[in-house]
Amino acid sequence: MRGRPAWTRGRVPAAFAVLTAGLLAFHRVVPNSVGRLGSSLELFLPWLGLAAVVLFGLALLRRSATALLALLLPTAAWVHLFGGLLLPGGKPGAHDLVVVQHNVSDENPDPAGTARTLTDAEPDLIALQELVSPALQVYERTLAPAYPHHVVRGTVGLWSKHPLTDARLLDVKPQGIAGPWSRGLRAVVHTPRAEIAAYVAHLPSIRVRASGLASSWRDESADLLGEAVAAEEVETVILLGDLNGTVDDRGLAPLTSRMNVAERGFAFSFPAAFPLARIDQVMARSATVGYIRTLSATGSDHLPVAARITPH
């Protein structure tokens, strides 16, 4: 007895292919009202491509023409969203800036080695979070020869090859957090070409609970940071930070709606042992964020990320 025709087999994989395509193309319509489902999906959105790979294997196993045809939908959606990130970066320009962003971890056992790893990328700017004593003094001492200009506010800091002025604390503290909490700064970097306002921030962590994703503090802090960027009078702005969210996460919309994000590279940065998402971000206004990449692992639970900035 002959089996069913290829066009009638594999309807279940075909249905899941259509569902995957819908989640990729219309992830913004997934509601956040219950357990922050939308943000949870967006945190790992690129990994939906693996679902298409699994479904492709099932379609071959079932010899289903219907499933193979349906797989064109999630493939096209994924390529539209993320295909550009796979392309190589362009050639660096004469006025480009190389920047490094790293949450160094307040439990880092080797701050001196971490500092050396960051300087190996020869960046113009280095932004660090979770700076605590006595490790802070180690970073200052190790980075000083190549980065004579630096500013620290609370637990975040910025090191620069170029002069820094007008440094100030940036208030991104949610109302629900009690006690001392200083995780933002702003300074003006005087590059040979132009003045750039550099923002360094560490937004609150998100938590996964039985009820879903808990991100209200992170979202509130992102709102405050977005308002500060909107009010910035210096035209070109660079934001470096552990934002505890991906650029697809709607919780960071106050920032991604105002700033450019990396055009090339995935640079998954967390957790360092098995990176699943890039929550360490480089964004810019009136500038292009070119290729972004991770650097070698340090003593932190995050990987450092490096990016090239081209001012407009």
Q: Locate 225 and state its tokens.
A: 């940071």
Give percent above pLDDT 90 in the chain: 84
Over the chain, what is the mean pLDDT? 94
User: pLDDT per residue over 262-301, tens digit each?
Assistant: 999 999 999 999 999 999 999 999 999 999 999 999 999 9
pLDDT at 246: 97
**Average of pLDDT values for 53-64?**
90
- Using pLDDT thresholds of 50, 70 and 90, give the confidence band for residue 211: low
109 contacts 299 by C-beta, under 8 angstroms? yes
Listed in sequence order, the residues at least 6 apart from 218 whose beta carbon sits closer than 8 Å to its beta carbon are 203, 204, 205, 206, 243, 244, 245, 251
Is the pLDDT score of 83 beyond 80?
yes
Is the pLDDT score of 49 beyond 90?
yes
Q: Is the N-terminal amide bond of 109 cis, ω within 30° of 0?
A: no
Report how far residue 43's alpha carbon sits from residue 55's, in angstroms, rounded to the nearest whole number: 22
196 contacts 283 by C-beta, under 8 angstroms? no
pLDDT at 27: 96
pLDDT at 94: 76
241 contacts 203 by C-beta, under 8 angstroms? yes
pLDDT at 90: 76
Listed in sequence order, the residues at least 6 apart from 183 whose beta carbon sits closer than 8 Å to its beta carbon are 129, 154, 155, 156, 172, 173, 201, 202, 203
Confirm whether pTM is higher than 0.75.
Answer: yes
- Using pLDDT thresholds of 50, 70 and 90, give the confidence band for residue 1: very low
Report how far residue 13's alpha carbon sits from residue 34's, in angstroms, rounded to the nearest whole number: 28
225 contacts 172 by C-beta, under 8 angstroms? yes
- Using pLDDT thresholds of 50, 70 and 90, give the confidence band for residue 92: confident
- Using pLDDT thresholds of 50, 70 and 90, give the confidence band for residue 209: confident
Q: Residue 188, exposed/middle/buried by CB under 10 A (0-12, 13-18, 19+)?
A: middle
Query: Rg of the chain over CA atoms, in angstroms?
Result: 22
Q: β-strand 97-103 against 125-129: which pairing, if any? A: parallel
Is the pLDDT score of 3 beyond 60?
no
pLDDT at 11: 86
**In this predicted model, which residue has the larger pLDDT, 6 or 228?**
228
Q: Locate 242 and state its tokens.
A: 């552990």
Q: β-strand 184-190 against 287-294: which pairing, if any? A: unpaired
Closest CA to 106 of 272, 302, 244: 302
SS3 34: coil
Q: Locate 277 and state its tokens.
A: 């998402």
To which H or E segment does residue 54 belong? helix 48-62
21 contacts 73 by C-beta, under 8 angstroms? yes
Closest CA to 302 of 151, 143, 127: 127
Give the CA dihedral 209, 213, 218, 222, nearest 10 degrees: 180
pLDDT at 128: 98
User: pLDDT per residue over 223-256, tens digit each?
Assistant: 999 999 999 999 999 999 999 999 999 999 999 9
Count CB neighbours of 262 within 10 A.
Answer: 25
Listed in sequence order, the residues at least 6 apart from 169 whose beta carbon sits closer than 8 Å to its beta carbon are 153, 154, 182, 184, 185
Report how far residue 259's alpha carbon sits from residue 282's, in angstroms, rounded to the nearest whole number: 10
